[in-house]
Amino acid sequence: MAARPETARKILLYWMDAMIGMMGALYLTLIVLHLVNGRISAFGGTIVIGCLLGFFALFPFLLRNAYDARPRPTLKLVAAGVLAAVSVALLPRQPLDGTATWLEVGALWLSIAALYLPLAVTACLGVVVVGAVSGYVVAITGQPWPGVLIPEVLSATLITGGMLLWRWLWWTIRDAHDGKEAKAGLAVSEERLRFARDLHDLLGHSLSVITLKSELAAKLAAKDPVRAAAEMADIRALAGDSLAEVQQAVHGYQALDLDEELAGVRAALEAAGASCVIDARADGLSPAARTLLAWAVREGVTNVLKHSTATRCAITIDGGVLEMLNDGVLARSSAPGNGLRGLSERLATAGGSVSAEPTPAGEFLLRAAVPA
């Protein structure tokens, strides 16, 4: 879940919607029972039903507005508070004596207000809301105030704490995912810096010497042709050595180990919430073929992570043929991306081929073939 924050966000929000919907249905059922028993008038019951429907209709919007950050209080929040206050004001005036009501609507409004307000302000508002609701209930029912105040304090504390904890859980998931992405981006940046540093160290000195020797050879061309020719020979030798060093560095940078790459992509897919099944029979392949397949595996899994919502991925290597099949296919452009084009060029140069296309079953298949 941590690897797919939007999925986690939807689950948490929909779970909260379901809980609020159940509470709303319960309260509406209670109102009907009070109407049937004559505890509340038809006019009052109609107003309460309208207020509660409005309150619970606003609740999902208020929740989503304050789920990613703490915004300023809005008119929707004020309107929900007014609706909650009116519904509480129309509680049955007979002694409650254990009869269930919609009294907790005030605590529900406090819990959603807590998402918009600092903690200290929420605490002060909670004192006001709990005090006002408890005092009003004591006044209209004649109940002893401890029997009303203590349950109301517990309800307001638990409901508000639960709401704040629910949002904190989402923030934790989101921050963990952002931290993971930042770590991956930092690793890429560090690798780019390392490669740039290596090239600078390899070429900086050589190119400086080549420049000086070229200038010297140009000056000696007319005065001392023999020495000028010797300088040009040194330049050619130095350029050849520099080219070999660069090729060696690039080869080391491009070399991938197939087994390590398969282990890495399995970990990446499983961290993203997708099961990964690998069946690799590549012991008889040449080192060059294994490197090409490792590049194909890396590019394929990159596309799975970036362009799908895959829950499963199967990687099969049989000889010099790789097949990578995943579900969760999203709408894609008909033109291949830069990564697939680069992979196709790399394999074509070595005499291989690559294809990537959706399957009739709604999955996506990457197939790469390399000379064994």
In DSSP notation, 348-361 reads HHTT-EEEEEE-TT
**Cβ partners under 8 Å of residue 8, min gap 6:** 1, 2, 170, 173, 174
Judge contact between 88 and 120, C-beta under 8 A: no
Phi-psi region of 319 (alpha: psi -120 to 50; beta: other; left: phi over 0): left
Please give the pLDDT value at position 2.
39
> CA separation (Å) from 297 to 315, 337, 350, 367?
8, 16, 16, 10
Residue 325, pLDDT > 90, answer yes
pLDDT at 3: 44
CA distance 258 to 54: 60
3-state SS class at 100: coil
Architecture of domain 258-369: 2-Layer Sandwich (3.30)
The average confidence (pLDDT) of the chain is 83
Q: From CA 62, how far away is CA 68, in angstroms rounded? A: 12
Please tell me which residue, 364 or 11, carries the higher pLDDT value: 364
pLDDT the model gives residue 187 = 67
The reply to whether 258-369 shares the fold of 179-254 is no
Can you give the C-alpha Rg of the chain in angstroms?
Answer: 35
* Banded pLDDT at 225 (limits 50, 70, 90): confident
Structure-derived torsion over alpha carbons of residues 179, 182, 184, 190, reported in degrees to the nearest 10: -140
Domain locations in the chain as residue ranges: 5-175, 179-254, 258-369
Place of tokens 């099949």: 325
Q: What is the pTM assigned to this prediction?
A: 0.51
CATH, domain range 179-254: 1.20.5.1930
pLDDT for residue 31 is more than 50: yes
Signed CA dihedral, 185, 189, 190, 191: sign only? positive
Neighbouring C-alpha atoms within 13 Å toward the C-beta of 99: 17
